[in-house]
Amino acid sequence: MQLPEDRPGTMGVNLTNWPAISSYVTNRHDTYPAISPSLADLRGKSVFITGASKGCGRATAVEFAKAGCTRIAVAARSDLTDVVAAVKAAARGKDGDAGEMRVVAVNLDVTSADSMAAAAATVSEAFGGVVDVVVANAGYLEAWAPMHEADADDWWASWEVNVKGVYLTAKYFAPMLLKSETKLFVAVSSIGAHLIRKHASSYHINKLAVIRFVEYMQEEYADEGIVAVSVHPGGVKTDLALSMPDFMHELLVDTPELFADSIVWLADKRREWLGGRFINACWDLGELEGKKEEVVGRDLFKFRMTV
């Protein structure tokens, strides 16, 4: 997602060093052969996805099915009937059918500990106490306004979903991740973490917190094998993104499948070197992997204060 410099008629934005981050490798706007789910083999694997009723969450569930994933749990506050049907229709078995696939739909509120605990119990029972991949995708964007004019409850609701929701997802699903071999935890962050744009203070700050949370989670569980990453999903025309001011909509040029297939790529092979790091789903991930030595050697894509 490329952002233009300030121009008349738009609110100011401090890009910090996002242009350098964004252009580290070639940018993509749609899925591409190197991350195609047809190349992955997720048979016998399980995934749990929050915010799965639409947008990037729904696409992730469908693409995991295409990759052969046989245990898929989708979670959201809204109805998931059509998502379950889409996942089953996309399933790839030995004979091109759903085979051994099991799809579990869970209605939950990611800001409620009781709701998340109940969801974890349901998924644990369905998947034998093990989850290989967790995608904390549920998100919220407050109404844009200057800090002093913002509705305080709406401002804080963004933190409740985007930070507390990620924490509760980790709290209740990490025990199941630790029993798997894949052990991948994905938290959806945003380009917003790298910007200081007027009138979006809550979202931009809490997405920065998500990236630091992932760094912390990696440090806490690295010895036990968890690989935790934060991912910017790209500029996708989701309901959340379309709630931004109209002038931002021209930046929404990426497909949800680009994000979804990037997560499939992450799940198909353990890449411990990415643990604790921020990833841009628009990056060409093959090119990124070619820069592994530089990324690790310079300890890139973590937040640090420069001196």
DSSP string, 35-66: G-GGG---TT-EEEEESTTSHHHHHHHHHHHH
Contact 122, 171 (CB under 8 A): no
Which of 45, 172, 207, 221 is labelled catalytic?
Answer: 207
Our answer to whether residue 216 is catalytic in this structure is no
Contact 108, 116 (CB under 8 A): yes
Reference 56, options 230, 236, 267; nearest CA is 236
Reference 133, options 100, 177, 92, 83; nearest CA is 177
Contact 123, 99 (CB under 8 A): no
Our answer to whether residue 207 is catalytic in this structure is yes
Which of 88, 203, 269, 302 is labelled catalytic?
Answer: 203
Reference 59, options 188, 246, 227; nearest CA is 188
Residue with tokens 């917003």: 192
- Give me the active site residues, please: 203, 207
